Structure 1
Amino acid sequence: MKKYKKILLGSTLVLFFVFATGFTWLYSQIESALPTLDGKADIFGLSGTTVIERDENGIATIKAENRNDAAVALGFIHAQERFFQMDLLRRNSAGELSSLFGPAALKHDKKIRRHRFRDRAREIIKNLPSQQLALLKAYTRGVNQGLELLKGAPFEYLLLRQAPVLWQEEDTVLTIFSMYIDLQFEYGERELTLGLIKSSFGEEMYQFLNPKGSRWDAAIDNSRYHESPIPAHGWTNNGTAALSGKTQAQTYQDQALPGSNNWAVSGKLSENGSAILANDMHLNLRVPNTWYRASLEYKSHEHEAVKVTGVSLPGTPSIIAGSNGDIAWGFTNSYGDWSDVILLETNEDNSQYLTPDGYRPFTSYKQVIAVKDQKSVAIEVKDTIWGPVIDEDYQGKMIAYRWVAHDLNAVNLNITELEQAKDTDQAFAVAAISGMPAQNLVVADKAGDIGWTIMGPIPVKHGAVGDLPASWASGENSWSSYLTPALYPKVKTPKSNRLWTANSRVVGGEMLDKIGNGGYALGARASQIRDNLRNKSRFNEQDLLNIALDHRAKFLDRWQDFLLNRVLTPETLAEHNEWQEIKALLDNKVLKATTDSVAYRLVRNFRLNVKSLLFEGVDSRLEAAGKTYTTQVIRHQLETPLWQLISEQPKQFLPPSATSWHNLFEQALAATVRDMTADQDLEDATWGQHNTAQIRHPLSRAVPFIGRWLDMPATELAGDKYMPHVQNNTFGASERMVVAPGFEHQGIFHMPTSQSGHPWSPYYGKGHEDWVQGKVSPFLPGETKYTLILSNY
């Protein structure tokens, strides 16, 4: 017996020793990937000593001799803090995620390889101006030395059993291509869906479901377009109610479009005479955050001192949005028409396609995709004179894609010139020559001027090119060139002294003709921001922050009234006495998307259920044609026809699952209450319970036990998508900035997650609570806590 006890004890000690050794090794490996915060480091390629200071939140200030040295230092800290994030961005657009994650990413890689973004990135690098290429080379040197000077690889690679691959100049271009993918349609989904709607339901229905305007329009030039009339014939609905076929998560998801809000007031309305800018860039929320905060101080080529503060995008050397003391600038996604689906006319065996010069053979490219732990996969992609072949349409016709992202001027580093722009006019000049996904640029300057323009390439189109797929074989449809800077749409300091954009249509008339419609958001956010700006005559930074945090549900006011007065009638309440509680919850309530609001959740979900029931006929027809076709890509414009239908209640649009329009509304309300009370009382079914943050690291789902250290807390969030305070559990303001140039010390800044991508960083997660609570936190970096000196060797 003693013998067995000794063996058991010995085995236990050995196992403990093995576990302790393994744990110690793992701990040391993770710890060794922490960035260097203090001390000195010898870096190749600097022209002089460069200093990196960080405050207690890790916000970096780089003090350099010139812009290239600042790029070296920015690349260095990007790599040390965010290299895995950078790696995912380049692999995402290059179609190379399979080499990191294995077969799970193969479907994505095969699809994205049709665009051949790595090949295009290499061509762009070859054509960059020498000054920009030098800046990019400096940044790349900094990235690779930052990575090499980590004592261990970023911890994500340890979990994936991979080694990081050094950065190349073309990878920065790929990073920007990833933003194209995030912000624009890469497969023509919207045009294809609209084309199917027109061919399936006819011109009247197409116009009805694709209205030019609505009551929510809030263009800065006050232009308006009308909704379309209700067609005489409805759509055929052969299915059961959509509510029975969808899960709760699908029904109530109501996804937001990647976009943003920004607005500005001129110096005539501010307390200090400088114009003030506010900017919230809305993106998917994750750990680490999309942006990295930095302040750069350097000498220009004219030996003038430059200080610019804002956010950078890891993988690129520029300040993307911020303030330099003379101007402040920010972006919202433009949703102009930057791509077109081309219906190819092919010969019998699909080996050639018709062009204005006759039939031509496709150009084929072999693409080899490396797959982790498996053999590489080779695919062939085809190209045309207009762009790559991306798929077939619902009739089996091959389709090609003409997209700004495929051209040489899609990407350049001209945005860096904003760092030294002195006024609104100079910012306009930079915007018109910049290569990036086209954005609504709003700029505010120290002299008090404000301005709006498009920043990014604008194609010049001819023929029937716009919302619908078309053949380009005859030459009548084409892109001839890109708009010259002199012709760019712009608005400078309007009479109202106010500007605003929120992904909806910004202008009309000739300016809209140049920009086109690539799927604008409904103007609910824009109109609420506009009205808030009109309600005051003097502003400071706190006033503009209050607009950003406005979560009043103005968009749902009429739905609340509809529920109270047209659904919860005395006759309905007599039949459904249990709905008296709903009436009590909604009566005399100002609807707000606060975490404790049951009323907001009720009205919001009721609207979504009505929408699902009414448009099930369209959804089922589109789904039958393939996954590419979905009302999800036109979901925001459907509010206009939806409200027309419930207001006028035409019989031809009543789904077969409903005996009357009132019965349809009762079905929607019953489903709403049933889902909200599945395991609780209605009074406990708050909006915050539904809208709880899920801001996660990409690996926390794959390795669940590490999520508690990597993810942000599961906090209940106020706000929703049809109001300025845009927030849902995985989407919202990736930054929130309010700043007046020249008065940056009064500026305000929020970010949903911290600077660091390493969970053991001393500032990991800092700033998150300020973002959740809307607490004022400074735009400028605080007092220096860490100092790292970089010297050339």
Structure 2
Amino acid sequence: MMSLKRIALTVLFITSLIVAIITTWIYSQLDGSLPLLEGKTNVYGLKADVNIARDAQGIATITANNREDLATATGFIHAQERFFQMDLLRKNSAGELSSLFGDMTLAYDKSNRLHNFRKRAIDIINHLPNEQLSLLKAYAKGVNSGLDALKSPPFEYLLLQQTPAQWREEDSVLVIMSMYLDLQEAKGKREQSLATLYQSLGSEVFSFLTPKGSQWDATIDNTDNSNDFSPNKLPKSPWPNVTSTSNNANSTYNSTTLADYQTEQMPGSNNWAVAGNISQTGSAIVANDMHLGLSVPNTWFRASFSYPYKDKQINITGLTLPGTPLMVTGSNGHIAWGFTNSYGDWSDVIALETNADKSKYLTPEGYKAFTYQRHMIAVKGKEPTKFISKETIWGPVISAKDADNLLAYRWVAHDRQAVNFYAQALEYTHTAEHALEVAAKSGIPQQNFVVGDSAGNIGWTIMGAIPKKSTDFGDLPHSWANGDYSWQGYLLPQAYPKVLNPSTDRLWTANSRVVGGKMYEVIGNGGYALGARSHQIKQRLFEKQRFNEEDLLAIALDDDALFLKRWRNFILATVLTDETLEKFPNLTLAKNIIESESTLKASVDSVAYRIVRNFRITLRNKLFSELNDTLSSTTESFDFSVLAHQIETPLWQLITQKPTNYTALPASNWQQLFVDSFKEVINKMTENQSLDEATWGQQNVSNITHPLSNGVPLIGYWLDMPEVALPGDSYMPRVQGRAFGASQRMVVSPGHESSGIMQMPTSQSSHPWSPFYKKGHSDWQKGTASPFLPGKTQYNLTLVSY
């Protein structure tokens, strides 16, 4: 009989062998999912060989003999480096994430399925011009070839125990639809929230809490002080006179809406340009930093394209979006361009008038029956989930099926005009004027488009389809039953708002109102940002009379807290009075710290900035918490965040005028509220440390993670970016939060790309074993002026036609 010792050794040997086999297999799978960097590989469908050169950071230069081959090569490299990211984007808009993640994303998938984006994407594909469709077909071939050329699937699929599906042409449209979901409202949250506010509080309070403008407005057409955008006066009657109609215990209110020290982040961006008259290059200089949620890998993929077009060689460098074949932003030697999210009015909530059993809804042609869409959602590890959604002639029904009043949603993203690939023409456009024409014909989520050319011209317009509306819709939902409210097609390109070569030689946008008058009327207000960033950028642009690229980078990295200057003065003059300090002498140190930092900056070592910033947010939260809680418990459609970006104006009016008719004051008097808010901030900052140790950098620590690292915590160390203290914040050009901020920083003068600047967080690659992983991240983090153009070639890969 075998001895216990021999049995134990045998078991240990077999166990070790199994562990070794599993480890070897895992290693081989991870190693096999690395992209090809050198050598040659065959790619079906190429007309000629294509070269992909990479520098030390993995920035790719793709050289092809024609544009379709270049699209194929772009798809190939995107698939090899970023396929999982691309897959998430297409599944996100199509409502198919549950096939990867199971029940945890089912509710989200159902919400997105209301838009039928896959069906709409196929329809868009079927109506694209042949040259655009050919580009997508070539790209899809490249994606699938790149995926097939991997020895094993991208490592994320190993962790999820899934197999990646092939890429189709409509998937590139779905990627852009995901950008619509990220940059715009998917279900009319703003209009629904404003309707709740209006119905609950009346027109006087509604107007006060929803100003159209402020002292921070910084428009490019000098309409800053227009009476149409003046703040509204304080309400005269006691307010807010509203009571809850439901039990707070059943409220769907999301506590993060008024969470402690909310950073008021919104997908957005900064961009600005200076004309050749005031640039050191003689060409225009364009700067752009697009603000998005930050994760691993980054949204963008850096690349250069080189290919012949007619009798010229096109050389263009910038950022691509994995999942799509075009250059999103960059410079071709003749023009450079960038974007900021426009926050125009690109959607409308429609109040439906229904018959008694809600089986029909009223239209200008009489009652019509709802149409129904059957959905089947694949759920990992379970049977598919089936459900049915309602649709109208205007768009999907977005309210709950048992809601008293049904709502439908009209959104540009639902129309064929939402997506096209006409922007490819920017690759061979030579002038700013022509670029504005291209922008007006392009189908993307509507953006502020700023361009400059090598002759020194600069221009602005809206890029993306602009709906023509029958009348001014305002901010609230309306019935479209009698035909007074309707969309009447889309604005013709020649009617687009635009500014070309302003007399100031400067342009700037930052998600706030850009223009007024007739131009504003066609853009509308979809919840644009407070103008603080625009105001600060404009101020910096007028502080100098001549600029180079590093001057404009300095504006992008500007963390001066101009927005909080008056709050600093308010604290010193009104809150920390002699009477307050006599009663609470422990606040003296805080006053000394604030006084010692006369120039308030969101620097990592600033204690004063953290105090002032957190005081403002604490005071705001206290002041509006009762109003928020009551309205949130009244209806699930109310979300305070839609007010947050313009709430600064009524907030400042309240605390400086201290009205006696504000019934929701959470203290016996205004001064007590101020002092209580300040004490709360100091107490939180000193819970486990002295006040002079409680810096802004301690609070603003980066948390840039891979989508899977939370689900598989042990791999986070290899996948996530290092946690570091970050300067910057929301109301300044250097927008930086824990996992939000500049997804890139670009400064480039067309024709002078060699002195251009580009920074990008995380890195080119999504694979932790890649030689490019985390390369370039420290430049973004530190604000180093890293090169715009790719560096010396380190790796050469040839895609061979057959």
Coarse TM-score class (shorter-chain normalised): over 0.9
Q: Say if 2:398 is the partner of 1:390.
A: yes
1:728 and 1:314 map into 2 onto residues whose CA distance is 24
Task: Read off the aligned partner of 1:704 and give its amino acid letter.
Answer: P
Question: Which runs of structure 2 are paired with 1:169-248 in the superposition (5 Å)?
Answer: 169-224=169-224, 225-233=229-237, 234-236=239-241
- SS at 1:674 equivalent: helix
Shift in Å at residue 666 of structure 1? 1.2
- Residues 412 and 418 of structure 2 are in contact (CA less than 8 Å); yes or no, is this contact kept in structure 1? yes
CA contact (8 A) 2:75 2:325 kept: yes
Partners in 2 of 1:2 and 1:420 — Cα distance?
80
Residue range with higher mean Cα deviation, 157-166 or 673-682: 673-682
Whether the 8 Å contact between 1:237 and 1:617 is mirrored in structure 2 is: no
Of the three residues 606, 623, 645, the one matched with 1:614 is 623
Q: How does 1:497-646 map to 2 (within 5 A)?
A: 497-589=505-597, 590-646=599-655
Aligned counterparts of 1:614 and 1:455: Cα–Cα separation in 2 = 39
Question: In structure 2, what residue type is equivalent to 1:553?
Answer: A
Distance 1:228 1:287 in 2: 44
1:767 and 2:771 matched: no
Matched-pair contact (CA < 8 Å) for 1:237–1:655? no
Q: Distance in 2 between matches of 1:615 and 1:283?
A: 27
Q: Does 1:446 align with 2:457?
A: no
Q: What aligned pairs does 1:658-697 form with structure 2 within 5 A after superposition?
A: 658-697=667-706
Q: Would you say the 8 A contact 1:614–1:654 is kept in 2? A: no
Structure 2 letter corresponding to 1:155: F
Give, as a single letter, the amino acid of the residue that structure 2 aligns with 1:531.
Q
CA distance in 2, matches of 1:170, 1:352: 33
SS at match of 1:125: helix
> What CA deviation, in whole Å up to 9, does each residue of 1:402-432 have, x standing for no partner?
0000001100001111111100111011011
Match of 2:463 in 1: 455
Structure 2 residue matching 1:757: 3-state secondary structure: coil
1:792, 1:423 → 2: CA distance?
35
Deviations 1:373-404 (A, max 9, x none): 10111111111111111115997211000000
Question: Which secondary structure state, in structure 1, belongs to the residue aligned with residue 260 of structure 2?
Answer: helix
Q: Please show how residues 150-169 of structure 1 align to structure 2 within 5 Å.
A: 150-169=150-169
Kindly tell me the number of residue pairs found equivalent between the two proteins: 789
- 2:680 aligned partner, one-letter code: A
CA contact (8 A) 1:285 1:695 kept: yes
In structure 2, what residue type is equivalent to 1:444?
A: G
Partner of 2:351: 343
CA distance, structure 2, for counterparts of residue 675 and residue 14 of structure 1: 56
| 1:393–1:399 contact (8 Å) kept in structure 2 | no
Which amino acid in structure 1 is aligned with residue 64 of structure 2? A
Once the two structures are TM-superposed, the CA of residue 14 in structure 1 deviates from its matched residue by 2.3
Deviation at 1:237, TM superposition (A): 7.3
| Alpha-carbon displacement from aligned partner over 1:524-580 (angstroms, at most 9, x marks no partner) | 000000000000000000000000000000000000110111000000000000000
1-structure distance, mates of 2:366, 2:759: 56
Please name the residue that 1:436 is paired with.
Answer: 444
1:683 shift after superposition: 1.5
Equivalent in the alignment of 1:729: 738
CA offset digits 1:572-595 (Å, max 9, x no partner): 000000000110110041110011
Aligned equivalents of 1:396, 1:427: Cα separation in 2 = 48
Which structure 2 residue ranges, 5 or more long, are not aligned? Answer: none
- Higher deviation after alignment, 30-39 or 252-261: 252-261
Tell me the distance in 2 between the aligned counterparts of 1:693 and 1:419: 35
Change over 3 Å in CA distance of 1:690–1:627 after alignment to 2: farther
Counterpart position of 1:55: 55
Q: Distance in 2 between matches of 1:127 and 1:629?
A: 38
Question: What is the distance in 2 between the residues matched to 1:41 and 1:483?
Answer: 47
Q: 1:730-769 counterparts in 2 under 5 A?
A: 730-769=739-778
Give the 3-state SS of the residue equivalent to 1:491 in structure 2: strand
After superposition, what is the alpha-carbon deviation per residue over 1:129-165, rounded to whole angstroms, capped at 9, x for unaligned? 0000000000000000000000000000000000000
390-399 vs 719-728, which deviates more?
390-399
Cα–Cα, structure 1 residues 551 and 393, in superposed 2: closer, same or farther, change >3 Å? Answer: farther
Which amino acid counterpart does residue 564 of structure 1 have in structure 2?
A: L
Residue pair 1:212, 1:226 contacting (<8 A) in 2 also = yes
**Distance in 2 separating the partners of 1:129 and 1:656:** 60
Deviations 1:478-534 (A, max 9, x none): 000100011100001111100000000000000000100000100000000000000
Note if contact 2:758-2:788 (Cα within 8 Å) is conserved in structure 1.
yes
The 1:4–1:753 alpha-carbon spacing in structure 2 relative to 1, beyond 3 Å, is: same
Tell me the CA shift for residue 169 of structure 1: 0.3
Cross-structure match for 1:710 = 719
**1:308 corresponding residue in structure 2:** 316
d(CA) in 1 for partners of 2:194 and 2:255? 23
Distance 2:488 2:357 in 1: 30
1:419 aligned to which of 427, 430, 438: 427
Distance in 1 of aligned mates of 2:664 and 2:571 = 20
Q: Deviations over 1:303-362 (max 9, x none)?
A: 311011000000000000000000000000000000000000000111000000100000
Determine if contact 1:260/1:503 at 8 Å carries over to the other structure. Answer: yes
SS in 2 for 1:368: strand
Q: TM-score, normalised by structure 1?
A: 0.98
- AA paired with 2:124? I
Q: Deviations over 1:15-49 (max 9, x none)?
A: 22221221111111011000000000111111111
Cα distance, 1:788 vs. partner? 0.4
Q: CA deviation at 1:625?
A: 2.9
Rounded Cα–Cα distance in structure 2 between residues aligned with 1:543 and 1:641: 35
RMSD: 1.7
Contact 1:337 1:466 in 2 (8 A): no
Q: In the TM superposition, what is the alpha-carbon distance from 1:657 to its structure 2 partner?
A: 2.9
Q: Which runs of 5+ in 1 are unaligned?
A: none
2:663 and 2:762 map into 1 onto residues whose CA distance is: 46
SS where residue 52 of structure 1 aligns?
strand
Answer with 617-626 or 456-465: which moved more: 617-626
Distance in 2, matches of 1:201 and 1:393, equals 26
Counterpart CA distance in 2 for 1:246 and 1:146 is: 44
Contact 2:75/2:141 (8 A) holds in 1:
yes
1:638-688: per-residue Cα shift (whole Å, max 9, x none)? Answer: 001000000100011253530110001111112111222222222211111
Q: Which residue in the other structure is 1:88 paired with?
A: 88
Partner in structure 2 of residue 410 of structure 1: 418
Q: Does 1:353 align with 2:369?
A: no
Distance 1:620 1:481, change over 3 A: same
Contact 2:264 2:645 in 1 (8 A): no
SS in 2 for 1:199: helix
Structure 2 CA distance for partners of 1:18 and 1:393, relative to 1, 3 Å? closer
Q: 388-397 vs 4-13, which deviates more?
A: 388-397
Aligned match of 1:145: 145
- Partner SS, residue 30 of structure 1: helix
Cα 1:109–1:88 change in 2 (3 A) is same
CA distance in 2 between partners of 1:470 and 1:283 (Å)? 32
The whole-number CA distance in structure 2 between the counterparts of 1:410 and 1:218 is 29
1:195-223 deviation line (CA, Å, top 9, x unaligned): 11111101111111111110000001120
| Contact 1:503–1:520 (CA under 8 A) maintained in structure 2 | yes
